Amino acid sequence: MTTQDFINQRLAEEARLAQLQVQTRRHFLKESAMGLGALAMGSLLGGCGVPARRADSGLISFDPARPLLPKAPPFAGKARSVIYLHMAGAPSPLELFDYKPELAKMDGQDCPPSLLAGKQFAFIRGVPKMLGPQAKFAQHGESRAWVSEHLPHLSTVVDDICFLKAVKTDQFNHAPAQLLVHTGGSRLGRPSMGSWITYGLGTENQNLPGFVVLTSGGNFPDAGKSVWGSGFLPSVYQGVQCRSEGDPVLFIKDPDGMSRDLRKASIDAINKANQQSYDDYKDPEILSRISQYEMAYRMQIAAPEVMNINDEPDYIHEMYGTKPGRSCLANNVLLARKLVEKGVRYVQLFDWGWDAHGDHAGNSLNIGMINKYRSMDKCVTALLLDLKQRGLLEETLVVWGGEFGRTPMMENRNGATNPFKGRDHHTEAFTIWMAGGGIKKGYSYGETDEIGYYGVTGRVDAFDIQATILNQVGFDHETFTYPFQGRPFRLTDVGGRVIREVIA
C-alpha cells in the first residue's frame, strides 16, 4: 500500500467514526447512571482502550478511567445481586440432599466392575467397597424435599429452594474443578463469573467494590485467588477480598496516628494540587484521578461500616450463629447479606474443608463433616430467611454448591482401606441448589440413579449453571463476550444452556 492509500484509509476511517459517534454517545449516556457530570470527569488512560463488544452484538462500554460506572444489562434481569456459597473441597450430596436407600443395601460390598471400567479417580485404586449413606433422611415442607438429619435448619426452608441434583463436571481435581465452576475453564487464566458480571454491570454503590470475596475455613480455595481473578479482563474487575481480621479491605485503614480529619485534609491537598496540574496539563486523566481519591475516602468510611457486624441486633446474631471477631462462615454469610443490601453485585463465599476423603478424622463423613454441616446449616438458613424478611430474596440469587460430587464407593487410598468413612472425588453427579433471584421455589430438577452414581435425568454442567446465573442478572451468555486471543471469549466457552426448567 502506498503512503497515500494509507492516508486515504485513515481519512475514510475518520469519516466513518464520525458517523458512528453520535449513535454511540447516545448509547453511552443512556447506560451511564451517573449522568453527564460524571462523564465530564472521565477520560481515557490507555488511548483507545480495550475493544469492548462487537458492534453487531451490542456494546459494553469500557472506560479505563471509570471502569466501575454502573451499567444496565442488555435485558432486565430478575436478580440484582448474586451470593455464591462455595463449599470448597466438595460436600457429599449422598449425606445431605440425594437420598439413596438402595446404596445403603450395598454398604460394604465390592464395587461392581461396571462402575469402574474406563474410569479414573483421584485416589481410588483397584476395587473399592460401596459405602451407604452416612445419614438418616426425611421429607420436608410442601415440596416434600429429602434432606438429611445433618441439616435440621435448612430442612425448614426447602420450599424456598430449587435443587439441581444431577450436576456433572469433567474435572476430578479441586483446583481445575473450582476454576471450571467459577471461570468456565479448568486451566488458569480466565475471568471469574463475578468479574464478568462486574465488567457487564459495573458497581451500583461506588463506595464499595462491586465484587466481594469472603473466605473461611482457614485456607483459600484450592485454586487460590484465580477463582476470583479477572483473567484477561482488566484487573479492576477481579474480586476484592474482604476480611474479618485485619483491614476489612486491604489498605482501607488509615495509618496509625493519622486521624480521619488529617486523612481528609491530605486527600484535599492531593486533589487541590492535582487540580493545579490539570490546569497546567489539561489532561482529563487528572480529573479522573481526583474523583478516584474522593471515592477512596468515601470507601474508607463505607467499607468498615458494612464490614462491621457488631451493630447488628442480637436476634440476627442468634439467627446466624455468628461469632463476632472470629473468621468463620457464619460471619461471612451475615456480611454477604449486608453487602448485597448495600448494592454489591456479586458476593463470593468460599468455605474450605469439605473434602471428605476419610483419611483422617477431620475429613471423615462420620466425624469432621458433622462439624462442617453444623457450621453451615444454621447460617445459610438464616441468610435465606433474613433476605426474605427484608424483601431482598427475590432480587438476590443465592447459589450453594461444591466443585464436584463424592463417590458412592468408600475411598481406598493407594489401594488400602481408609481408617475413617470417606468418599473420593466424583465427577458424574452432585447437587447444587439455588434460591431467590427469579428461580422456582420448592422445586427439584434432575435425578441420579439409585445409588447416586450417574445423573439420569436433568443433567446440567457448570456452563449451564453459569448461563442461568447470567440470564438471571440480564445477560445472554452467548453474546456476552470479550475479545481475547483473536476471538470473542465468553464465560461459558462453547457450552451452556439456560436451565429454563428452574426459572420461575
Partner 1 sequence: MIAQKKAWLVVAAMTAIAGSFAFFSHNDVVDFSAEVKPILNKNCLSCHGGVRAKGGFSLLFREEALANTESGKPAIIPGDPAHSEFIRRVSSDDPEVRMPYKHEPLPAEDIALLKRWVKQGAKWGDHWAYLPVKAQTVPAPALKNPDTGGRWGMNEIDAFIGEKLEANHLQPSKEADKATLLRRVSLDLIGVPPSAAQSAHFLENKDPKAYEQLVDSLLASERFGEKWTSMWLDLARYADTKGYESDQGRNVWAYRDWVIRAFNNNMPYDRFLTEQIAGDLLPNPTDAQLIATAFHRNAPNNDEGGTDNEEFRNAANLDRVNTTWEGLLGTTFACVQCHSHPYDPFRHEEYYRFLAYFDNNRDEDVSSEAPYLRQFNDSDRNSLFRLTEWVRQQAGAAEAGRVKTYLQTFQPAFNSSVADSLKNAAIINNNGSLAMFNDGWARFEKADLENADEGMIQFYCNQPGSVIELHLDSMSGPLFARVQVAHENKWKRQVFNFARQSGIHDVFLHYKSTAYRSVAGKDRSLLIFYDILSFQPSLPGNNTAGYAKAKSDYTRLLVTTNVNSIPVMMENPAAWQRDTYVWERGNRHLKGKGVTAGVPAILRFAQPANAPANRMGLAQWLTDKRNPLVSRTLVNRFWEQLFGNGIVETLEDMGTQGMAPTHQSLLDQLSYRFVNDYNWDMKRLLKEMVMSATYRQDARWHDGATEDAANKFYARGPRLRLSAEQIRDQALAASGLISDKMYGPGVMPYQPDGIWLSPYNGARWQQSKGEDQYRRAVYTYWKRTSPYPSSISFDGAQRNLCSARRIRTNTPLQALTTLNDSAYIDMSRHFAQRMTTEAGSDPVKQISRGYELLLYKPIPPKTLQVFQDLYRQSLTEFKAHPDKSTAFLPGNKPASPELAALSVVANAMMNLDEVITKN
**Contact predicate 344/282, CB 8 Å:** no
Residue 21 binds to partner 1 (criterion: CB under 8 A): yes
**Contact predicate 299/253, CB 8 Å:** no
Closest among 478, 407, 468 to 432, alpha carbons compared: 468
Closest among 120, 117, 97, 112 to 170, alpha carbons compared: 120
Question: What is the distance between the alpha carbons of residues 373 and 351, in angstroms, rounded to a whole number?
Answer: 11
Residue among 107 and 285 whose Cβ is closer to partner 1? 285
Q: Which residues pair with 409 in a beta bridge?
A: 130
Calculate ∠ Cα 149-154-160, nearest 5°. 135
Residue among 141 and 483 whose Cβ is closer to partner 1? 483
Residue 361 binds to partner 1 (criterion: CB under 8 A): no
- Mind giving me the DSSP string for 55-122? TBTB-----TTSTT-----SS--S-SEEEEEEEET---GGGTT---HHHHHHTTSBPPGGGTTT---S
Residue 40 binds to partner 1 (criterion: CB under 8 A): yes
Residue among 136 and 282 whose Cβ is closer to partner 1? 282
Residue 301 binds to partner 1 (criterion: CB under 8 A): no
* Range in contact with partner 1 (rule: CB under 8 A) among 160-168, 227-235, 440-448, 473-481: 227-235
Residue 415 binds to partner 1 (criterion: CB under 8 A): yes
Q: What count of other Cβ atoms lies within 10 Å of the Cβ of residue 245? A: 8
Residue 194 binds to partner 1 (criterion: CB under 8 A): no
From candidates 47, 108, 118, 313, binder to partner 1 by CB under 8 A: 47
Interface map 416-455 toward partner 1 (x if CB under 8 A): x--------x------------------------------
Calculate ∠ Cα 409-410-414, nearest 5°. 110
Measured from the CB of residue 285, what is the shortest distance to partner 1 in angstroms? 7
Residue 170 binds to partner 1 (criterion: CB under 8 A): no
Residue 81 binds to partner 1 (criterion: CB under 8 A): no
User: 213 — phi, psi (to 5°)?
Assistant: -120, 135
Residue among 68 and 382 whose Cβ is closer to partner 1? 68
Residue 117 binds to partner 1 (criterion: CB under 8 A): no
From candidates 92, 134, 148, 300, binder to partner 1 by CB under 8 A: 300
Measured from the CB of residue 299, what is the shortest distance to partner 1 in angstroms? 5
Residue 57 binds to partner 1 (criterion: CB under 8 A): no
Measured from the CB of residue 169, what is the shortest distance to partner 1 in angstroms? 14
